[in-house]
Structure 1
Amino acid sequence: MKQLLLLRHAKSSWDDPGLDDFDRPLAERGVKAARSIGRELAARGWLPDLALVSPALRTRDTWRLVAAELPVQPRIAFIKALYDA
């Protein structure tokens, strides 16, 4: 059976209030959390076939850190409409 897993980006940094929202990086807390979520997904066997990711910096970085913890890399598609949703 197919399953849908929704994952929000990890905690973003507000250290630079002049940055455009699209370009905000992850906070250190977010980096740690993203890695932890990746490990948890792998431990539970929740391994996606396809990841649809917003092209915003914090979402790309979240996915990169999550995916680094997975035993198999899924296909990935960056979809601008996800950022605008």
Structure 2
Amino acid sequence: MMWYDGGWSGWFFMAVFMVLFWALVIAGIVSLVRYLGGGRHGHQGGPPPSSSEPGWGSRRAEDLLAERFARGEIDEDEYKRRLAVLREHR
């Protein structure tokens, strides 16, 4: 056997490259699935409220205000003041 060099280096590099190849294939598939299914993060289940329901806009405004408060964009006093204004004009 003239092609056999008596070492394990060829087998080692082949195994490493095979693992890297499959890791790239799997990462590509995961990326593709996430790209095609994107835009659904943070989506709440259920149908959106219909515009014929009374007060649907003010509930959405209160939800947005609560999200801003939770993210720390506004403080507690500002939250309470704006919430009172929204509920006053309902």
- Does TM, normalized by the shorter one, top 0.5? no
**Higher CA-based Rg:** 2
Higher RCO, 1 or 2 (CA under 8 Å, sep at least 6)?
1
TM bracket, shorter-chain basis: 0.3 to 0.5
Q: TM-score, normalised by structure 1?
A: 0.32
Flag the structure with higher helix content.
2
Flag the structure with higher strand content.
1
Q: TM-score, normalised by structure 2?
A: 0.31
